[in-house]
Amino acid sequence: MTYKRLVMVLAGLGSAGLAFTISAVAQAHDDDRPPTQAEIDFAAGASDLMSNTVIAALVQEIGETTPQNAAQGSLSIGLVFNDRNRDMRLVGTLQPLSRNDIPQDRFERDALTAAMTGQAKTAVEQIDDHWYYRRSIPLSNFVPQCAMCHPNFAGLSSSAWVGMVALRLPIK
């Protein structure tokens, strides 16, 4: 291959790569547009399924918790609600807490305030160039087993609101 032909091939490949990059950047900027109602509805439906799964996991864990295995149950459910997971979190201000359990943004602060009165919240928000459907599920001290892992719940009524599950589902 001659030097001239090699230069032309490399220039063509470079141009194609530049065009591809420009196209990808332009397409990424399309994500700035607000989601359509159909996209929001899809995320809300996925949120319903995720809510059922998360609550089922909590109820299952609570149903299997005994005074003898409460520490193991606490570890188990703590791994389900892993502090690195930004899309599914337990949020509250009652002990015991990890740093990740306190509200992390305005939606979580407002949703926790509402959850402490038994009210759920939803929102569609753009976070770091991505759109999300957000939802809170209020949690109460609904069974005596709660106090096995949360001793400070022992004096609370079974209808006392203690925190929430925060869900975040990507849209698009």
Residue 15 lies in a domain: no
Residue 166 lies in a domain: yes
- CATH number, position 104: 3.30.450.20
Q: What is the pLDDT of residues 16-45, one digit of tens each?
A: 443 444 444 334 445 679 999 999 999 999
pLDDT for residue 18: 36
Residue 2 lies in a domain: no
Q: What is the value of pTM for the model shown? A: 0.76
Q: What is the pLDDT of residues 79-135, one digit of tens each?
A: 888 878 889 999 988 876 677 788 999 999 999 999 999 999 999 999 999 999 999
| Domain count across the chain | 1
Q: Where in the sequence is the domain holding 120, given as residue range(s)?
A: 37-170
Residue 13 has pLDDT above 50, yes or no: no
Residue 170 has pLDDT above 60, yes or no: yes
Residue 133 lies in a domain: yes
Residue 28 lies in a domain: no
Residue 32 lies in a domain: no
If DSSP states are collapsed to H, E and C, what string results for the chain? CCHHHHHHHHHHHHHHHHHHHHHHHHHHHHHHCCCCHHHHHHHHHHHHHHHHHHHHHHHHHHHHCCCCCHHHHHHHHHHHCCCCCCCEEEECCCCCCCHHHCCCCHHHHHHHHHHCCCCCCEEEEEECCEEEEEEEEEEECCCCCHHHHCHHHCCCCCCCEEEEEEEEEECC
